[in-house]
Chains A and B, each alone.
Chain A
Amino acid sequence: MSKELIRLRDLCMAYDDELVLDHLNLYINDKEFLTLLGPSGCGKSTTLRIIGGFTAPLSGDVLFDGVRINDVPPYKRQINTVFQKYALFPHLNVFENVAFGLRMQRRPDPSDPKRNTKLPEEEIRQRVLEMLEAVSLKGFENRRTDALSGGQQQRVAIARALVNRPKVLLLDEPLGALDLKLRKDMQIELKRIQQQVGITFIYVTHDQEEALTMSDTIVVMDKGTIQQIGTPEDIYNEPKNAFVADFIGESNIIDGVMVQDKLVQMYGRQFPCLDGGFSENEPVDVVIRPEDIDIVPVEQGQLTGTVTNVTFKGMQYDIIVDFRGFKWLIQTTDHSPVGARIGIKIDPDGIHVMKKSRYSGLYGDYSSFSDEYDELDTVEPEEGGDEA
């Protein structure tokens, strides 16, 4: 990662008196794959639209290469966008869709520098065909866009944006409309294209798995503020608060007290851990990922609980275990029957301690999850038997 390309300074935005962006600050490096991740309404799309120039912020600055570009209209920015649902022009074929931006371009006439001239038709043709080849759509030039599959349309949209050789590509939930299999392929494809063209991608999604797979940097957002910025590993392993922990992956979040460095107390019991830097006896949130929990015989367990639900997931079982009214999710390859008493054991590196935040107590309990399963279990097949 090299130098800084875009800086957002103190951005505020509101629709209908509702604050969407709350003093947002962020810088984005050149050639970086950065993902804005968060639930719908968190302000990620608004941030993207402000960078693209489609929306003007209420206050704050957008800097591009150190120059303030708040008042530069979108058609003058060196930024292109792949829109949600692609926004391909239905009245143009694939070739003309991709050529659209090039046909709009003007550059100084070599013979008379005062005049601007269009790009020569031959150059347009060559660049469009090259780009179509790069996104594996060679031979599709004359197709109507509504005769393409979702994935193909997706690639036309990417080609249409990249053919202009922008410095930054904005992608607004571009894979949302694709099915799961295609989405996985396109994730890899997108990453490949980004590395090939070597420009900055700013990617908006609410899908945490997508973010983890592709990004160099993830920005987790909620309610118009940034919750955490970091690499996928940082975000997953060291979530800053209960919101991030819950949003990225599955988490059990338990109230605890930091007895001293590297020792945390939950359920009145002390657990060794690797975290430090808290005051003595400070209340904290403790995150334990479901895959970091080992099931052991009751007598060996640090804690004991009752299995209330078991779901087979292929690679593992998802087990809901009740520990004194607080339900945990445990992922294990071993089967335990519903109703069984089990013990659990957690290694020190499986425990992550976070400071209390406004999100404390909101996440990390699987009661509702298990209730759902309980209800499903009690549904008896009722209409059996009375018909021939």
Chain B
Amino acid sequence: MRRRNCLGSRALMALVFLFLYAPIFLLIVFSFNKGNSNIVWTGFSLDWYKSLFQNRLIMRSVYTTLLVSLLATAIATMAGTFAAIGFYSLRRRTRTALNTVNSIPMMNADIVTGVAMCLFFVAFFTFWGDFSVWFNGVQSVVVLPERLTLGFGTLLIAHVTFNIPYVILSVGPKLRQMDKNLVDAAQDLGCTWMQAFWKVILPEIKPGIASGALTAFTMSVDDFIISYFTAGSSSSTLAMTIYGMTKKRVTPEINAISTLLFVTVLVLLVVVNLREARAERTGQERHPVSQKLTQMLDTPKGRLFRRGAAVVLAASFLIAVVLLTGATNAQPVVNVCSWGEYIEEDLITQFEEETGIIVNYQTAESNEALYSLLKSGAGDYDVIVPSDYMISQLIEEDMLAELDYDQIPNYGLISDRFKGLTYDPEERYSVPYAWGTVGIIYNAAMVEEPITSWSAMFDTQYAGNVLMFRNSRDAMGIALAYLGYSLNTTDEAELREAFQLLKDAKEQGVYQSFVMDEIFQKLEGGNAAIGAYYAGDYLTMLENNEDLAFVVPEEGSNWFMDAMCVLKDAPHYNEAMAWINFIASTEANLANMDYLWYASPNQEALEQYPAYYEELYEEELGQETYDIIAAPQEVLDRCEAYLVLPLETRKLYNDLWTELGI
């Protein structure tokens, strides 16, 4: 009886561990995959690690992460230690109450902390703006900056804030374990309180401080949510960068960096636990090497050395921090917010080398997400790349700055077809970035005959195999196109009809799920047969699954234009102009077109691309492929661009979308 129980519970335990660690194990294994698939193993290689270290976006965020974690750890450890000593000397009842208050932030949902801090900072900046304007007005000795933004400073403050409770939590027990007569004894033997602190309290609670600092550091490196809300546009931690990268698809590069992050945190945790375990084994002799070292450092000379080393370390750390933050502040900067994997990254390096302007490159998930970020005041970007209809809306709400086209000579290279479109008829606010069409991507091996119509998106014969857009505009757009209505209709009856179509299909189980960039994984892996998405992305998927096919349905579809705009009050206006001009150049457009598989609005680039491709890959670019990237005019004629909808209609969209319950 007992034996079997034992076996059963062991099996259960093995299962639990399998469940816990199998995903991480898989991630680690595929970080060494030669190919770029997460499903098919094609051989061992370290290529992804190599490319990781060449990826400037990642390296910069590693640097930011380390800097913010180290600084936050140092500050939080100091503050937390003194706070713990303060708590300790309080009366018991007050202390218990304070400890509870202290542990609430740790229990609190990160997202609440993050949002609250973001709100607080933004509110403070507003107040600060008013104050500094007044202050600079009444005197001229000190000039205060009038515009503060989220950035490294706020990120650091946030990290310090959420780290302090962990330090208090690990130092507090050490203090309580300490014989409370120790301080009295030190004073009795000739110490002032301060001397007693250094000579007796500090050595006693050192293990607590060390494990508090390690925990804080781990938490800092680990954190995503709070950083996401407080970093603003100019800094990005590693976790944020990884998140940005996953928006498109999980590349083996992400596996590699995640593996490194996992290993780092694992090592830190092991160190913390070993320390604690060692501390518990009281009376046990210390490791001979560390004992020897301690003895050496305990001689008068050693003590001098130790003190000197500590001073030098602290000083060089401070100097490094000052230099680093100073250096980044002195350099011109431009903050760009675009979409995930929506730029050839070499262009950023090239631009930085040519102009000396540092590019802080961030990504948003969708037009709607970008819009709410801007509205909350947290996104203090210079350049954004919204889509057509969103541009109209931003212009309508007076959120964009007029561009200085004199500084953007490359605007002349933009094809006349793409100038003065409905979203910006007077050509005052935008420079086109890329365009494309929406169509159906399907797995030819999983359907019986080629798909030509949107009807496939509502057809119960494909139930459970269809992927639909997870945003109201595109999803409703498909239904409207299928019904033969305008994508920009404001007629409630037409909209409700389209909605009913979607709803019925959903209830009949047509849709496997509603997705955005997850579609890459699903279609590439053959987990779904049909999905609606962007033409350029189809070509990326095709590289990993040759069975995929693309069609712009006969009923017509959406064609979209993403264009670069500058936000009103952008802090780096001239740098923004330089960036836009650089990206509008033919060379940049060619590089981007090749990387994105989205069509360029630059006439020269459009014409030169087949030759560019041939030179680069030493093979011809088929006309069919080219037509998918840059849809020919007869396809565009069937398509319709989105226009900004009246508020009433937007509200209806919202209500219907909510009713659909995605």
Contact = CB atoms under 8 A, between A and B. Distances in A.
The answer to whether A and B come from one shared complex is yes
B181 A74 contact: no
A87 B181 contact: yes
Interface string B160-186: 000000000000000000010110111
B184 A54 contact: yes
Interface of A: 52-54, 73-75, 79-81, 83-85, 87-91, 100-101, 104-105, 121, 144, 146-147, 160-161, 164
Chain B CB within 10 Å — which of A79, A84, A88, A104 has the most? A104
B179 A160 contact: no
B195 interface: yes
B203 interface: yes
A325 to B, nearest CB: 46
Given A75-B192, A146-B282, 14 more contacts: A52-B184, A54-B188, A73-B192, A75-B190, A81-B184, A85-B181, A87-B179, A89-B182, A90-B204, A91-B204, A100-B186, A105-B190, A147-B283, A160-B189
A74 B204 contact: no
Interface residues of B, number: 20
Contact of B184 (A83, A104, A105): A83
Contacts of A53: 187
Q: Secondary structure at chain B's binding surface: helix, strand, loop or mixed? A: helix
A151 B624 CA distance: 94
B200 interface: yes
B660 interface: no
A221 to B, nearest CB: 21
B265 interface: no
A294 to B, nearest CB: 49
Chain B CB within 10 Å — which of A91, A105, A161 has the most? A91
Contact of A75 (B189, B282, B283): B189
A75 B199 CA distance: 14
A101 B184 contact: no
B191 interface: yes
Given A81-B185, A83-B181, A83-B185, A104 B204 contact: no
A100 B189 contact: yes
Contacts of B199: 100
18 contacts: A52-B188, A73-B187, A75-B188, A75-B189, A75-B190, A80-B189, A81-B184, A84-B181, A87-B179, A87-B185, A89-B186, A89-B200, A91-B203, A100-B186, A105-B190, A144-B283, A146-B282, A164-B189
Nearest to A172: B181
Contacts of A121: 300
Given A75-B189, A104-B189, A87 B283 contact: no
B195 A104 contact: yes
A199 to B, nearest CB: 15
Contacts of B187: 53-54, 73-75
**10 nearest CB pairs, A to B:** A104-B190, A101-B189, A87-B181, A91-B203, A87-B185, A83-B181, A74-B187, A75-B190, A81-B188, A87-B179
Contact of A80 (B181, B188, B300): B188
Nearest to A163: B189
A105 B185 CA distance: 15
B188 A74 contact: yes
A75 B187 CA distance: 5
Contacts of B282: 146
Contacts of A73: 187, 192
